Structure 1
């Protein structure tokens, strides 16, 4: 191929810039791929198809020499590489250790809670009692209460002298002595309308003497949030004397990252651990997900209601929160094996005979250093968990395409069946021979919504022990004859 001088200069400048970042890497890996510097083909040697520049792999040359694009040697392309069953980067096994490659196997395991957050404990604002005066009067006595005190139900707060009660009670006692039942009922009703508690009316009836002092008590137990009554003050009807906040339950406000909050729902379980009680966990449920997002931290506030037995959880305490308490089966790979480019997510497959190829995958939740694979891998396939970025760079320079999701095919004559490229959960609606009908959750990799459909069983024995109504996690392949279930695992009942 011919290149004019201007094109060479322009390409040379551009390639020189790239060479600073990746030139050594591309050439070094290319040298590792072929076990050393290129040599001329001889008797018994590997056949060379052409030479190429790792920086411009699409340009082929019929003999070795210097690259016309930059100051580096051309690299040979061998015939056995082109004839291999699957495209990929080849690395001499002797060089694997020097690259620091570490291989891991995709396996079916148990994925626990993936989302944790921090938060603080606050009062349950729904458990608030307002104490008001039902009539006007003068405060004769207070009972040494102060904001923050923890009191029980019925605890006295203050004694109120009500002058107008004395006259009404005297009239009631006089009517009772007359013996007119109708007038007696009317006089008693008047006492209640003046705000007199039924207990005070009963005390007047028992003693036959007026009681114009009433004791204001708390309707519920808890802590005093506000206290507005002092000795000697005048109170009016309806005046708020105190606010009592119950302590039977408390709220835990947790800050959850915006990107992860979509997986939470009210009613789900949550577990809190506090520094004050090491090794102990407090279980509650999500009461609400507040509608606003904190602009500075991009977090949503999740309100969790926790039982507070013994009043051990105190407002202001700091807590660490874990959401979701049930583990579920999933196809897992080490999180460090996953490469996220921004547009897609890939892993580097470790193929036989020292070859490596990128594969696009669909990932799910992440927990404990493991990432869930929803589609793109099958159990038993091997991926590179360390050093994969070097191989990915070489694959990109060599123009090797990533294996698409669903593009995996079982090797000819493989003893083990496919474990399915797609995974989801569902409920068994019916079983009939080699067919199973499932109401399943969405399959994002195929852009399927949640729906009910019939699958073919890869082996009838897969459904042994299952029945209608069972919740299952399953994987399947999407072939020309329709979807085929490859694995079926029973899930714990909700």
Structure 2
């Protein structure tokens, strides 16, 4: 009897032990399974928490994975997203938006700042113009008689000629008979009335007075006449050649002066209503900034160019020194009579992407933050800001080459804008520098083993990625769509390509190792 009781007691104790062991194992498994979830879902510590980093002694707000900065953790440890340690975000740098750039790094990058100022500037805008011949100063060389080109002194168009230089010599056969008739009347002693009639006939035939005077003096008929340039300039047209026959009223050549030129300023269609005759224009030669010319708009030419969508304004500029020639490109500043108060920043501080304009502002705590602005017209080396900035703010005037393209702005600026989303964490300087140095379209590649496949992502244990400074680790990458890469299997060794995305990194190509090129 006692023996049975002992056996029953031992069996009961063994059963209890087995049940306790099973419960412990199940609890451990559940705890181990839930730990990453609990860690991932942990809320950020309150402002009054007293977490302190043991290495630096600074107060810690929370820990995070730099690759997934929006997820906060209340204790240090391994990241559930990657095989790396969580990084602390300290209280003395977590409350401000923007990026904190070390002063030494700023000096190495050549970052220079400028202050937003308000100035009274004349109303106006910048435009491009080209020089042209002043057509109002052009002279034409014409024949008044029927004759032949005996000798052509001007050999080709665009030839420079001096004032009084010969252009062409004409042989006029029709002049011979009236001159011989006049000489015969004079030798026969005819009365003065007949001589006067003969003289009037020669004048009617366009015989120059000088040639008639020479006829009286020498008694010899002349059938050649030389045509001269009335002003110094350039032969812009030459319509005859040696030996050619000419008729009365025919233009032999056209000569344009160079002492004054026209400047034709191309006014954008959007500014056409702002242009008025009499506005002052300061022009600078594009090839030599020291060559400056000024004038006033004389007239607005009617019509808008269908190709360039510009309105043309014409003004006269003095070229007495003959430094300019037609066709030169000029930078023009058109100014109005009254001044307007404008908010100005250096033009080099404005980053224009085509869709928006950005400046990098330095906050009161020294952090750099992108600000979208609306720009007006240019004023010399400055650009007017109509909204987005206030007087006295400081902006980055040099060093924006780190983010000088739309592709870089797409990837860098959203990370810099820490104030856009309340839950967004500030970006570490190293992350910002890495983003700035790589375009948004940059892709990376490596090889690895497929650990897990879901409809939204694939997990790899992959080799190092030197371009990103990554060591070998296990990491999850997003898929472009649920149906992407249907042939990828767990346990398979693959070569894959990925790129940065808004949610981390996204796969663009996954191939078995044996099929890569």
TM-score (norm 2): 0.47
**Greater C-alpha Rg:** 2
